[in-house]
Structure 1
Amino acid sequence: MKSITITDVANHANVSKSTVSQYLNKRYEYMSEKTRKKIEETIEELNYQPNILARSLKQKSTFTVGVVVANILHTFSTQVIRAIENYFYDHGFHIIVCNADDNPEKEKNYIEMLRAKQVDGIIIFPTGDNLDLYKRMKRDQFPIVFMDRTIEELNIATVMLDNHLASKLAVDRFVDKGFENIAIITTSIIRDISPRIERIHGYKDALSAHGIRCNPDYIKTVNAEEIPDALSDFFDLEKPPQAILAGNDIILNGVLRYMKKHGIHIPEDIAVIGIDDVPYASFYTPTITTIDQPAIEMANLAAELLLSQINKEENKDTSVHRLKPTLLMRNSC
């Protein structure tokens, strides 16, 4: 059976091949609504399937981008992936999502696989331990954008939260409620992962601004499985904290499980605020005060920056964009 070509579509719709090509590339501004409808109906009637390989060779693009997340279990990561997929779908691209599990070797393998597949660009939540690989991509002028984490000396376009402000909003809220013994717990900072370090710095600076001495016993950086032990250390102190800032959604989940298991009541026994809003925060009992990241706005900005590199626009943006968080006040503090 003869395969249907773009020429067949053009002849059947009584338009030029270039008009059909513009339609396939979603350049609808070059045609009337009537012409667009006619081409759409013709494609459906003839069951035309565009030759993706031929299109890629002709335009020197696979119309595919990669997204390498550090840990897909984070609510923020899934929100960002969804928004990036929506953005690129609207621009005629597909995405390939890879989960590095905060493992530099896994991240390296995924990046090399994506480049072997000739994706047009990659958005990376960098583990931080593949500096030579990042530098090589930059040297090759390969389109790349960092998300959520920065490695400033590389001068690579980055989109992330204003993490200092996120911690400040939480500490300010705790202090407004009358608390001074304020603890923070984050996941491991073993590889100097920037959001975690910045949130701790923001916490320390906010305490200092309120004239509160920073107690090193109130700061914990642990792996997920170590959260219960870290919390037990807090409560075993001579002066246990009155409030806990959970550095991300995984920590918050661990904190809430611990409190429920040990019969510790929020906020009567201890106040809690989490950085990263989570779906259950608004209906958990009590509802959980969180610091919300503008995930969709951040994802769209990262996608715009990557697409501008793919399109080789003249003014290449390599700056670090820090978007502002929002305090969502609920009943846990």
Structure 2
Amino acid sequence: MNGKAARPTISDVAKAAKTGKTSVSRYLNGEQNALSDDLRGRIERAIAELDYRPSQMARGLKRGRTRLIGLIIADITNPYSVDVLSGIEAACREKGFTPLVCNTNNEVDQELHYLDLLRSYQVEGIVVNAVGMREEGLNRLQQSALPMVLIDRKIPDFACDMVGLDNIQAATTATEHLIEQGFEALLFLSEPLGMVNTRHERLRAFRSTLGRHSGIIAENAETPLHEAERIDNTLREFHSRH
């Protein structure tokens, strides 16, 4: 036999307060001015004695507002993702929303799974730091008709707000700066490019900038940025060659 006590319900509160469920619902929904002082007191004491905590999900669904924001992150270990998470959480807290964070670990199939999961929770909006969604995922996003923002990703032929930087200008400025400082061998080190078009943009800008300068040795390498040993090996090999 399971000794865990059953979670108290609104019916239990109504019974303890000697009233109906409608009055308890009004109390919980902030319509306390419709109740007498005596009734408000009885409901308040019943809630405290039973340690009743209403299901915010159920109440949100009933009102058509869950106050939930879905957040799909490609790699939660990436320092950039940590900063993004912090900013989104602060903005949600300020506006009275709660973020539901899903880490795909750079796996496209996980993106589709979490997208369906977030829709089942009836989130009110989605923030996506996508790896490289395929057509199936794009169709699901478009059909959801949810407010959506992409983080540091661009999806061709997909009308959606995007927050990021000018990748071409950023990579060009960084490369020009190194050349101006007199460096003659440059390594473009990146997370695996995969289908992430913003990463490809940065690499193209790097190569395009070098094309305007002669005598510069340049290479590019791809490695997960959280794998410190692989990064060290890549840098040592580059230095040994140049």
Compute the RMSD of aligned alpha carbons.
2.9
Aligned to 1:194: 197
Aligned to 1:150: 154
Aligned to 2:207: 204
Q: Aligned letter for 2:33?
A: A
Q: Give the secondary structure class of the aligned counterpart of 1:152.
A: coil
Aligned to 2:96: 92
1:132 CA displacement: 0.9
Q: Give the secondary structure class of the aligned counterpart of 1:124.
A: strand
Size of the aligned set, in residue pairs, is 205
1:11 CA displacement: 5.0
Higher relative contact order (CA 8 A, sep 6+): 1
Once superposed, which parts of structure 1, at least 4 consecutive aligned residues long, lie more than 4 Å away?
A: 11-14, 46-51, 213-216
Once residues 13 and 98 of structure 1 are traced to their aligned partners in structure 2, the CA distance between those partners, rounded to angstroms, is 45
Percent identity over paired residues: 25
TM-score w.r.t. length of structure 2: 0.72
Larger Rg: 2
Change (3 A) 1:89 1:13: farther
Q: Is 1:5 the counterpart of 2:28 in the alignment?
A: yes
Could you list the per-position Cα deviations for residues 62-118 of structure 1 after superposition, in whole angstroms to 9, with x for gaps in the alignment?
A: 110110110111222111111111212222211111111111122222222111111
Q: Is 1:106 the counterpart of 2:110 in the alignment?
A: yes
Once residues 143 and 93 of structure 2 are traced to their aligned partners in structure 1, the CA distance between those partners, rounded to angstroms, is 28
Q: Aligned letter for 1:212?
A: S
1:195 CA displacement: 2.6
Q: Is 1:227 the counterpart of 2:231 in the alignment?
A: yes
**Out of 142, 154, 164, which is 2:168 matched to?**
164
Q: How does 1:38-117 map to 2 (within 5 A)?
A: 52-53=56-57, 55-117=59-121
Once residues 7 and 219 of structure 1 are traced to their aligned partners in structure 2, the CA distance between those partners, rounded to angstroms, is 60
Q: Is 1:181 the counterpart of 2:185 in the alignment?
A: yes
Could you list the per-position Cα deviations for residues 189-246 of structure 1 after superposition, in whole angstroms to 9, with x for gaps in the alignment?
A: 1x2212321221221222234x235645x21123444323322331232xx1xxxxxx
Q: Aligned letter for 1:76?
A: Y
Matched-pair contact (CA < 8 Å) for 1:68–1:124: yes
- Give the unaligned 5+ runs of structure 1: 15-42, 241-333
Matched-pair contact (CA < 8 Å) for 1:124–1:147: yes
